[in-house]
Amino acid sequence: MWTFISNFVLKNRYILIISILCVTAFMAYHSKNLQLAYAGSKVLPLDDPSYVEYNKFKEKFGEDGAVLVIGANDKNIWQKDTFNDWSKLSNEIKAIKGIQEVLSIGRVFELKKDTAEKKFVLEAVVKNQATSQAEVDSLKQRIEGLKFYDGLLFNTSNGATLMAITFDKQILNSKYRGKIVNQINQLAETFSQKHKIELHYSGLPWVRSKLSDKIAKEFVLFLFLALIATGVVLAMFFRQFHAVFFPLLVVINGVVWALGVIALFNYQISLLLGIVPALIVIIGIPNSVLLLNKYHNEFKKTGDKMHSLKIAVQKIGPTALLANVSAAIGFGVFSFTNSAILTEFGHVAAINIIATYICSMILVPIIFSFLPAPSIKHTRHLEAKRITAFLTKIDYLVFHHRKAIYITSAVIVAIALFGVTKMRANGFVVDDLPKNDPIYKDLKFFEKNFDGILPLEVSIDTKKKNGVMNASFIHRIDKFQNMVSSYPEISRALSLDEVLKMATQGFYNGNPAQYRLPNSMEQAFILSYAGKSSGKGSGSMLKAFLNKDKSETRISFQMADIGSEKMNLLLKELEVKTDSIFPKDKFDVVFTGSSRIFVKGTDYLVQNLKESLLLAIGLISIIIFVLFRSLRMNGIALIPNIISLIFTAGIMGYAGINLKPSTILIFSVAFGLANDQTIYFLTKYRQELENPDNSISKAIALALSETGVSMIYAAGILFFGFGIFAASNFQGTMWLGILVSITLLVALLSNLILVPALLLSLEQRINRKKVNRPLIQMNLDLTENAND
């Protein structure tokens, strides 16, 4: 088959090049429609109970993560000119299209009783610019007397204040959000610079917009770094312009295809999809390395350029196919997680790894068929004297010190396994950012001054029409929210009860001492006033907290980013205490909100790690079995790569690197790539066994010497390629790069040392006939070095 393929490629050079160029043009045209992901990560499956509850909550009560906050802790905010500009800033931001409401100490509302109409009127406290400091001082006293806002807009205990900016839900998760966020930032920074007041920004709209900006920058950065890194490695190997430029051109073509696939699937560029172009470069380059090495080897023997290119395709094609399928499996298993963000990543990565392989097998031989034949200096890299010397030492170690190899491997595994016991599953909303990042630092500001800004929502169903308006139920809410707010990680509540307390204070002409729930005599009267409240932005004051038939209500909290591990424990504790206030037989209480969904997403991905890894192992085992028809050979193939995963997991345990959405990718991806090395070695080993004159020992020695160079070349490219991700601003991406690089290095050493040692130890038990005859006959071969 591969003889036919090689002949077909070189006989139809023009047609194939034109065809590929047409596909590339098509993909490039569609890639202009690429968009960044503006909504939160789609981690949970759509049918997950928690996600279903969250969507139901939003349908009834609206978005929970629509507020951007700007905070300050500076007493000068109450100086006349500063206060006036803060009020002006609030109104300027409110005027921006796409902003629904703005609340701040400069734009705050209070309830006024209209006895004639028997309703409350919501009026602005600050109607005009203050003309004196005395007026501002009076306003301060009046605003701080509005207890409804204490802990929400200002904190009287530490002097901090914030501006709460609510986005229109139609704008919130669209491309326009970023433009609005930038407008807000420019206006706020003008205020900050004028008055020398440090401002802090947070809230999900801000965090998601800034993360999108970082993803866009890293998208370009990593593609550039991947090309630079692989280009440098190619230059070190081949020391020839053609052997550097054209392989890079091939993988750039693969990147264009990947972008086109993302656009055609209507996917948006997320943190994971943002690294796919760089991955295509890193994983695609070894195909060209293997082809060019074999081409140069054959040309050195025969001096016939076209014949050498045909042999390169025939020999490298099947081997590289198995290696690329193995790598694609490592990514493709994420398609079975039912998590949208991982499914998209798995689809795009797996499809384009294979697509880039196909392009390499077509374009590299065609391009080099038009170029001049390699000279002696261009094939000098085949000597690889240092690598050959290294492999000679490996050969001696394998044949004379197998016991030491096994003892060393066992000790490493034992130490690593102890580290594995220290691993924890724990994710934070922004812990992928370094501690000195402004987003992280600002989040901590709001946690310190306002107990956090991450939404935690509670919906309570009374199972009765108008059940929420029952006096007994209202007092249950008060007891419940006081219980929840007693935790230092959670803010005070925003709820029906707080609105009623505000209404009672308004009914008694703003007296701060009357900020309380109405008593049984007052309740009906005050509720009738509140139900008919009017004024700019008010409508019914109760509407935001009630469903249509008043059988359900919401209670909103803000909380700190305490991590999924602590959050799970906290929610379990809260649910137990909640049952004593709202018995399950009478009420349905659901804890939801963006913070809860994030935690559930982390738990879901960690649970799927085991399944994804087992699926990858199972699929790759099938490939090995197809080649060898031997369970024993399957074990030999899997052992070194599983050891490399254990080694990596041990490092994570000792280093305190948590299992979380950004790090669980490491294992399946690394396993798929590490098996490439195993396939390179074992396919050459099987080929050598086809020669009846070769003993198993000789076949191992030949396989080690003849494939070692290519294994080291390929591993070197992958090692330095993934190493570029260490430059990421996202710690998850950084650790992905570092740990995959370490895993591949350990896997290379394991495949060069442990696999040959195991084969030698099982020499008498290996069935040559089974090894000689694979289920699918393929003419497998690998690059040979100068000793061929």
Q: What is the pLDDT of residues 466-482, one digit of tens each?
A: 898 888 999 999 999 99
**What 3-state class would DSSP assign to 630?**
coil
Sheet holding 454-461, edge to edge: 494-495, 552-559, 454-461, 588-592
Q: What is the 3-state secondary structure (H, E, C) of 144-166?
A: HCCHHHECCCECCCCCCEEEEEE
* Identity of the residue numbered 618: G
The residues near 40 (Cβ < 8 Å, ≥ 6 apart) are 65, 204, 208, 594, 597, 598
pLDDT over 90 (residue 617): no
Element housing 21 (H / E): helix 13-31
pLDDT over 90 (residue 678): no
pLDDT over 50 (residue 12): yes
Retrieve residue 557's tokens.
């909290």
- Residue 609 — very low, low, confident or very high, per pLDDT cuts 50/70/90? confident
Classify residue 118 as exposed, middle or buried by CB count within 10 Å of its CB (0-12, 13-18, 19+): exposed
Q: Would you state the torsion angle of the CA atoms of residues 654, 659, 665, 669, taken in this order, to the nearest 10 degrees?
A: 30
Q: Buried (b) or exposed (e) across 136-146, using 16+ Cβ within 10 A?
A: beebeeebebb
The DSSP letter of residue 493 is -
The residues near 317 (Cβ < 8 Å, ≥ 6 apart) are 2, 5, 6, 361
Q: How far apart are CA 359 and CA 643, in angstroms?
A: 33
CATH classification for the domain delimited by 2-39+209-421+599-772, as one of 1.20.140.10, 1.10.10.60, 1.20.1640.10, 1.20.1090.10: 1.20.1640.10
Task: Output the average pLDDT for the chain.
Answer: 86
Retrieve residue 446's tokens.
């709001």
**Residue of 58, 74, 120, 11 lying closest to 503 (CA atoms):** 120
Whether 237 and 8 have beta carbons less than 8 Å apart is answered as no
643-646 own/partner pairs: CB under 8 Å, 24+ apart: 643/409, 643/412, 643/413, 643/746, 643/750, 643/754, 644/670, 644/674, 644/743, 644/744, 644/746, 644/747, 644/750, 645/613, 645/670, 645/671, 645/674, 645/743, 646/413, 646/416, 646/417, 646/420
pLDDT at res. 780: 46
Q: Would you state the torsion angle of the CA atoms of residues 365, 366, 372, 378, taken in this order, to the nearest 10 degrees?
A: -20
DSSP-derived secondary structure for 564-608: HHHHHHHHHHHHHHHHHHS-TTT-EEEEESHHHHHHHHHHHHHHH
Whether 732 and 788 have beta carbons less than 8 Å apart is answered as no
Beta bridge partners of 36: 269
Whether 242 and 368 have beta carbons less than 8 Å apart is answered as yes
Whether 87 and 126 have beta carbons less than 8 Å apart is answered as yes
Least confident residue range of 53-62, 177-186, 440-449, 658-667? 658-667
More reliable by pLDDT, 372 or 780: 372
**What 3-state class would DSSP assign to 776?**
coil
The residue whose two tokens read 């790569």 is 641
Classify residue 464 as exposed, middle or buried by CB count within 10 Å of its CB (0-12, 13-18, 19+): middle
- Residue 539 — very low, low, confident or very high, per pLDDT cuts 50/70/90? very low
Whether 673 and 742 have beta carbons less than 8 Å apart is answered as no
Q: What is the pLDDT of residues 130-170, one digit of tens each?
A: 999 999 999 999 999 999 999 899 999 899 999 999 998 88
**What 3-state class would DSSP assign to 86?**
helix
pLDDT at res. 420: 92
Whether 230 and 244 have beta carbons less than 8 Å apart is answered as no
Q: What is the pLDDT of residues 59-80, one digit of tens each?
A: 888 777 789 999 999 999 999 9
pLDDT at res. 781: 47
**Residue of 266, 229, 221 lying closest to 733 (CA atoms):** 221
Most confident of 288-297, 359-368, 597-606, 669-678: 359-368
Q: Buried (b) or exposed (e) across 425-453, using 16+ Cβ within 10 A?
A: bbbbbbbbbeeebebbebbbbbbebbbbb
**Mean pLDDT, to the nearest integer, of 359-369?**
94
pLDDT at res. 775: 46
Q: What is the pLDDT of residues 766-782, one digit of tens each?
A: 555 555 555 444 444 44
What is the number of alpha carbons within 13 Å of residue 196 lying toward its C-beta?
Answer: 2
Q: What is the 3-state secondary structure (H, E, C) of 697-720?
A: HHHHHHHHHHHHHHHHHHHHHHHH
Beta bridge partners of 166: 67, 101
pLDDT over 80 (residue 517): yes
Degrees to nearest 5, angle at CA 594 with 589 and 596 = 50
**What 3-state class would DSSP assign to 12?**
coil
Q: What is the pLDDT of residues 282-330, one digit of tens each?
A: 999 989 988 988 888 888 888 899 999 999 999 889 888 988 998 899 8
Retrieve residue 774's tokens.
């694979």
Per domain, the residue ranges of the chain are 2-39+209-421+599-772, 66-202, 438-592
pLDDT at res. 776: 47
- Residue 714 — very low, low, confident or very high, per pLDDT cuts 50/70/90? confident
Q: How far apart are CA 353 and CA 673, in angstroms?
A: 11
The residues near 146 (Cβ < 8 Å, ≥ 6 apart) are 108, 110, 125, 502, 505, 510, 512
Output the pTM of the full model: 0.81
**Residue of 568, 502, 513, 514 lying closest to 541 (CA atoms):** 502
User: What are φ and ψ of residue 520, in 5° steps?
Assistant: -60, -30
Element housing 458 (H / E): strand 454-461
**What 3-state class would DSSP assign to 276?**
helix
Q: Would you state the torsion angle of the CA atoms of residues 462, 463, 468, 474, taken in this order, to the nearest 10 degrees?
A: -20
- Number of helices (H) and strands (E), helices first, in the chain? 26, 10
**What 3-state class would DSSP assign to 765?**
coil
**Beta strand 552-559 pairing with 454-461:** antiparallel
Q: How far apart are CA 21 and CA 13, in angstroms?
A: 12
Whether 542 and 530 have beta carbons less than 8 Å apart is answered as yes
Q: How far apart are CA 632 and CA 624, in angstroms?
A: 10
**Residue of 427, 477, 431, 482 lying closest to 596 (CA atoms):** 427
Query: Considering the chain, what percentage of its residues have pLDDT values greater than 90?
Result: 44
**Residue of 365, 374, 372, 377 lying closest to 247 (CA atoms):** 365
Q: How far apart are CA 117 and CA 532, in angstroms?
A: 9
* Identity of the residue numbered 594: S
**Mean pLDDT, to the nearest integer, of 697-703?**
87
Q: How far apart are CA 173 and CA 95, in angstroms?
A: 20
Whether 562 and 487 have beta carbons less than 8 Å apart is answered as no
User: What are φ and ψ of residue 732, in 5° steps?
Assistant: -65, -45
pLDDT at res. 788: 40
**Residue of 322, 258, 247 lying closest to 286 (CA atoms):** 247
pLDDT at res. 382: 63
DSSP-derived secondary structure for 303-372: --HHHHHHHHHHHHHHHHHHHHHHHHHHHHGGGGS--HHHHHHHHHHHHHHHHHHHHHHHHHHHHHHHSP
**Mean pLDDT, to the nearest integer, of 169-196?**
90
